[in-house]
Every structure is written in structure tokens, then in C-alpha cells.
Amino acid sequence: MSKKLEDCVTTIPDFPKPGIMFRDITTIISDPEGFKMAVDQLCDMVKGMDIDIVVGSESRGFIFGAPVAYALGKGFVMARKKGKLPRETISETYDLEYGSATLEMHKDSIRPGMKVFLVDDLVATGGTTAAIIKMVEKLGGKVVKIGFVMELAGFDAKNKALKGYDVESLISYPGN
Ligand SMILES: O=P(O)(O)OC[C@H]1O[C@H](OP(=O)(O)OP(=O)(O)O)[C@H](O)[C@@H]1O
Ligand SMILES: Nc1ncnc2[nH]cnc12
């Protein structure tokens, strides 16, 4: 039987805090078949769609977003953690499953009217993605597709933080 992407994920209970089921992507990306499956399947999500640019968040979003952009023949924009981008930025602060954080994007990275494919490894609350959506929209871009490798369905981000957007995940885990 051929390998499935799910088989490449390792789950670590109680990391980094008690009660968190940590879905570890390191075993996807260290496996050539797993990494290729993930990138190819993310690209398939926008087959036939008109997109201008791929956006990914630091740091695990970079790992999938950059090869997806390359494979699609598009550019890649980084949403970075605070204080890392050298030019004029826009920023958003948001809550995480465990803590809070601020992401920044270069103000000139999205031009008005650009159609954005937002890529990340995982969605839990959707707070990270919602922060990026806010920045993209403030810059005049339109998020036309959001693709995740994994979703923690218990948070119901699709119907809460990301309601109204076109969201797809390659793997869905019930619960948090
Ligand atoms: O849906 P949310 O509740 O916002 O959580 C999901 C986000 O959390 C993780 O990133 P993290 O901020 O831990 O950064 P990392 O990629 O640098 O580990 C993950 O890569 C997502 O970006
Ligand atoms: N449960 C989880 N596993 C891996 N990364 C995460 N980011 C937020 N929640 C996570």
C-alpha cells in the first residue's frame, strides 16, 4: 500500500505544555515522499485558480509556502515575527494556542488587487492566519485561498476565525 501523508506526522502529547497534542511536521519534511506529497497537494488546491502570490508565516509556514510558490511559478512573501524585517512594515498581534505573538509584513510586499494564496503547516485557533489576512487586506490584497497541511478541527477555525474564506487542509485531526 502506498504511503499516506498522515503516516508522516508524529504526535507528541503534552508538548510544549500539558494538554497540547503537538503535531510534528519534522517527520513530513525529512521524508522525501512526505515532503513532496505535502507540497504537491498544496499546489493542487489552487489548480485552475488565478493567484498572484503565496504568503507564509514564520517559521513553519515558510517550509511549505516557499516550495509551493516555486512550483506554481509565483513569488513568496514572508510574514515574519516582530523585528526581523528591515523595511517599512505593517503588523498584527494575535493569540496562539499557547501564548501570543506579533507578525509583520513589508508594506510593499502586497500591491492592491493582488490575489493571495496563504499557506501554513497547521491551523489551530486560526489566530495566526487571521492576523495575516488582516495585514494582506489592509495592504489591498485579496486572500483567495488558504491551504494548511493540518487542521485541528476542534477549534473550528473554518467556521470561526476564518469564516467566509476558502480554507482547505490536507489532514484533519478531530479535537484540539
Ligand atoms: O491557528 P493558530 O492557533 O494561530 O496556530 C497555528 C500556528 O502556530 C504555529 O506556529 P508558531 O507560532 O508556533 O510558530 P513556529 O512555526 O515558528 O513554530 C503553526 O505553525 C501555525 O502558524
Ligand atoms: N497542536 C499543535 N501542534 C503543532 N503545532 C501547533 N501550533 C499550534 N498548535 C499546534
Write the ipTM: 0.98
Q: What is the 3-state secondary structure (H, E, C) of the chain?
A: CCCCHHHHCEEEECCCCCCCEEEECHHHHCCHHHHHHHHHHHHHCCCCCCCCEEEEECCHHHHHHHHHHHHHCCEEEEEEECCCCCCCEEEEEEEECCEEEEEEEECCCCCCCCEEEEEEEEECCCHHHHHHHHHHHHCCCEEEEEEEEEEEHHHCCCCCCCCCCCEEEEEEECCC
Q: Determine the distance separating the centroid of ligand 1 and the alpha carbon of 36, expressed in angstroms.
A: 21
Residues whose CB is less than 8 angstroms from the CB of residue 10 and which lie 6 or more positions away in sequence, other chains included: 23, 24, 26, 27
More confident residue, 17 or 74: 74
CA distance 169 to 120: 10
Q: Is residue 9 part of a domain?
A: no
Q: Is residue 29 part of a domain?
A: no
pTM above 0.95, yes or no: yes
Q: Is residue 78 part of a domain?
A: yes
Q: What is the pLDDT of residue 97?
A: 65
Q: Is residue 26 part of a domain?
A: no
Q: Is residue 131 part of a domain?
A: yes
Q: What is the pLDDT of residue 96?
A: 78
CA distance 52 to 36: 22
Mean pLDDT of the chain: 96
pLDDT digits (tens, 9 = 90+) for 117-148: 999 999 999 999 999 999 999 999 999 999 99
Domain that holds residue 124: 50-173
CA-nearest of 19, 24, 18 to 171 is 24
Q: Name the band, by pLDDT with cuts 50, 70 and 90, for residue 95.
A: confident
Q: Is residue 13 part of a domain?
A: no
Rounded to an integer, the average pLDDT of 27-51 is: 98
Residues whose CB is less than 8 angstroms from the CB of residue 52 and which lie 6 or more positions away in sequence, other chains included: 74, 114, 115, 116
145 ligand 2 Cβ < 6 A: no
Q: Is residue 34 part of a domain?
A: no
Which residues' Cβ are closer than 6 Å to ligand 1? 57-61, 96-97, 101, 120-128
Catalytic residue of the set 60, 104, 111, 168: 60
pLDDT at 98 over 70: no
Q: What is the pLDDT of residue 1?
A: 65
% of the chain with per-residue pLDDT over 70: 98
Q: Is residue 117 part of a domain?
A: yes
Q: Name the band, by pLDDT with cuts 50, 70 and 90, for residue 110.
A: very high
What CATH number does the domain containing 102 carry? 3.40.50.2020
pLDDT digits (tens, 9 = 90+) for 40-49: 999 999 999 9
Q: What is the pLDDT of residue 176?
A: 83
Count of domains forming the chain:
1
Instruction: Point out which residues pair with 78 in neighbouring strands.
Output: 56
